[in-house]
Structure 1
Amino acid sequence: MRQLLLFIVVLLFNSCQYFEKQVPSEKELLQKELKSINWKEVDEFPSVVDCEKIADKKLREQCFFEKMAQLIQEKLDIDSLSILYPELDTIEVKVTVFPNATMQFEPQFPKDSVAYDTIKIDSILHARLVDFPKVNPAIKRGIPVKTQFILPVIIKAKDAK
């Protein structure tokens, strides 16, 4: 019996090496984690106060885009874009929301946009697209991140109101 117990103890001490596993280095773990992250998507989209109470992620995202398009349209409705350029019914605006909750707006013109003065439209947009309500930036893994998206903004004609 003693020999059996001694054999089991020796076997246990010798078999520990079979249970040891290679521990990966910090760099390997970091590279593996970085490769597993989808950098094209955010965990939470930017949001405005009016959309914060919506629990569903997709509905909150839709609310944010609708609210931003509505705010931009309201700010451009008081201007003369529709009078100066009646053929211009929609402008695509690239909106950038920075991690510090500031925003930047850039009009996106088609490559063949020689029909209208893009510099003048750009200056009108920069003059009008100010004083927006606070926008909470997008969140990726608990950290605020920069996001960009393009919103189609419909310019309403003055006589259509």
Structure 2
Amino acid sequence: MKKLILLLFGLQLTSCQYFEKQVPDEDALLQERLKEIDWNKVSSYPSFPECDAITDKNLRKECFFSTLTRLVQEKLGADTVALLAPQIDTINLKVTILADASMKFEPQFPVDTTINTTQIDSILKVKLVDFPQVEPAQKEGVPVTSQFILPVILDVQGD
């Protein structure tokens, strides 16, 4: 019986090391996780309500861009932008979707352009308002600001 008690006592002393594990440092875990995150890509792209039902990431992205392009072209239509600058058939818009779901549009003109960019810019600011609610892009579940260039084809004839 003494041998059994000594054996159990010896096992108890040596088994404590198996339960005593080193807890990782919180800062070290955070730094390791931050290194794993690709900061150049978002977890989910911005989305309009009509695209929310799509679960595939790439199809949802395509839905967002096609919807945004359609909405911008509808708002501009055969408008004065195409009439003021008939030599330009496409305007590149820098679209910024902020984390608070607001949108900003900035036209990108060629450097050597001879058109009145301030007049076109002011027309775009007046026309490109009242978009449907947009869900901002997300990174690790947190809304983030995203920015991209959207080419908009100007239609002079309105077809």
| Residues 1:117 and 2:116 are matched in the alignment | yes
* Superposed displacement of residue 22, structure 1: 2.8
Equivalent residues of 2:79, 2:156 under 8 A apart: no
* C-alpha spacing 1:55/1:92, structure 2 compared with 1 (3 Å): same
Summarize deviations over 1:22-74 as a string: whole Å, max 9, x none: 32222111111111112222222111122122222211110100010111111
How far apart are the structure 2 equivalents of 1:18 and 1:57?
A: 44
| Residues 1:136 and 2:104 are matched in the alignment | no
How far apart are the structure 2 equivalents of 1:49 and 1:113?
A: 39
Structure 1 unmatched ranges of 5 or more: none
Matched length: 159
TM norm structure 1: 0.86
Q: Pairwise mapping of residues 78-89 of structure 1 onto structure 2 (< 5 A)?
A: 78-89=78-89
* Superposed displacement of residue 133, structure 1: 1.0
Equivalent residues of 2:96, 2:105 under 8 A apart: yes
TM norm structure 2: 0.87
Taking only aligned residues, the RMSD between alpha carbons, in angstroms, comes to: 2.0
Query: Which residue does the alignment assign to 2:155?
Result: 156
Consecutive aligned runs of 4 or more in structure 1 exceeding 3 Å deviation: 1-5, 14-21
Q: Pairwise mapping of residues 10-29 of structure 1 onto structure 2 (< 5 A)?
A: 10-14=10-14, 16-17=16-17, 20-29=20-29
How far apart are the structure 2 equivalents of 1:25 and 1:66?
A: 46
Query: Which residue does the alignment assign to 1:91?
Result: 91
How far apart are the structure 2 equivalents of 1:67 and 1:14?
A: 66
How far apart are the structure 2 equivalents of 1:80 and 1:113?
A: 21
* C-alpha spacing 1:72/1:113, structure 2 compared with 1 (3 Å): farther
Query: Which residue does the alignment assign to 2:108?
Result: 108
Query: Which residue does the alignment assign to 1:76?
Result: 76
How far apart are the structure 2 equivalents of 1:28 and 1:78?
A: 58
